[in-house]
Structure 1
C-alpha cells in the first residue's frame, strides 16, 4: 500500500540544519536504503534548491566524495523527485517535476500513484502535510549533538500534539 514517510536528520535539541549532524558513511547508507525503499522523493522548493546545488556534482564526479555519499548521489539522480513550490515551476535536475495545484489533492494523487510510497524530506512541507493528516510514517535520524542554533523541527507549530508509536529503533 502506498504511504508517505517523513524522514529527516535532527539533533537532540531539534535542530534540522543540514550543516549540523554526522554526515558519515553510516548516515548516507541509511538514507540511501530508505530512499531505495520508496518510489519517489517529495521536497519543498528550498530543500530542492539545496539538493540540486550539490548532489548532481557529486554524482557526476565533479565533486569528490566518499563512496557512500557518491552512491547516494547516483541513486538520487535516477529517483523521481517532486517539488512543491509557488515561486518556481521549472526544475531542471534529472527526473524532477513540479507538483502543483491543491496541496492535499496533489500529494494524495502522487502517493496513490507511487506503489513503493513517497519519501518526504522537507520540514516546512512536512508541517503542512502533517496539519492535513497525510504523513503515515516518521523516520527521525537523531544525532547525539546539541546544536544550540539553527532551524528547528516543526517551528511553524501544529494544531495539536502528535502521539507516536515507536515501531523501530537502531543504534
Structure 2
C-alpha cells in the first residue's frame, strides 16, 4: 500500500498562504528532494491554480533560478489529481476528479507506486478523519501573519490525531521542517 504524505508551508501562528513565504534555495532543494519519493500529487483546486500554470511555465521556459527550474521540472513531471467541481481543464498529466476526495485517495493508495503527496488545506480534515494521511511534513516559517487560511479551523476534527516527530531540519533562513508520522 502506498503512503500518503501531507506537506505545507505555515507561519508561526499557523497560517498557510503560500503567497506570504519567500522560500530560499535551501528550501526549494528540500522540497525538490522530497518529491524523489513521490509519483502522484493530490491537489485541491485552489492550490492547483496557485501552483500551475506558474511552475509549468518556469519548467518550460527555464525562467527561474537554477534551483527554481529544478523544482519546477520535478513538480511538473509528476502525475497529478485535482479535486474540483469547477475546473474545466488542467495541465497534461493531470486528471480532474469532481467529487469524493477521500474515496478517490483511498483507491489511489491501494495502487502500486511511490508516495502520494497531498497539498490541500480544504480537504485536510476529511482526509485525516478518513485515516488516509500517513505522514505530515510541515515547514514553519519565521513570520507571524495574523490572518488568512489556517492549517485547520477550530472544531474541524472530531478527534485529535497523535503524531510522532521523526525528523527536524533547521534552515539558515530560520524556517524549520518537521516530519511527523501518524501513530
- Given that 1:43 and 1:125 are in contact with CA atoms closer than 8 Å, whether structure 2 keeps it comes out as no
Give the secondary-structure state (helix, strand or coil) at the position aligned to 2:8. Answer: strand
1:101, distance to aligned residue in structure 2 (A): 4.8
Task: List runs of 5+ in structure 1 lacking aligned partners.
Answer: none
TM-score, L = length of structure 2? 0.85
Whole-Å separation in 1 of the counterparts to 2:71 and 2:97: 23
Range with bigger deviation, 93-102 or 70-79? 93-102
Equivalent positions of 1:18-37 (< 5 A) are: 18-37=18-37
Per mean C-alpha deviation after superposition, the further-off stretch among 95-104 and 75-84 is 95-104
Task: Give the structure-1-normalised TM-score.
Answer: 0.90
Number of matched pairs: 169
In the TM superposition, structure 1's runs of 4+ consecutive aligned residues that sit over 4 Å from their partners are none
Aligned to 1:134: 132
Q: Which whole-Å CA distance do the structure 2 matches of 1:35 and 1:71 have between them?
A: 11
Alignment map for 1:31-50 (pairs within 5 Å): 31-50=31-50
Structure 2 gap segments, 5+ residues each: 171-183
The CA deviation string for residues 26-74 of structure 1, in whole angstroms up to 9 with x for no partner, is 1111111111211110001111111113111111227x32111111111
| Partner Cα distance (2:125, 2:61) in 1 | 34
- Which residue of structure 2 lines up, in the alignment, with residue 170 of structure 1? 169
- CA RMSD after TM alignment: 1.7
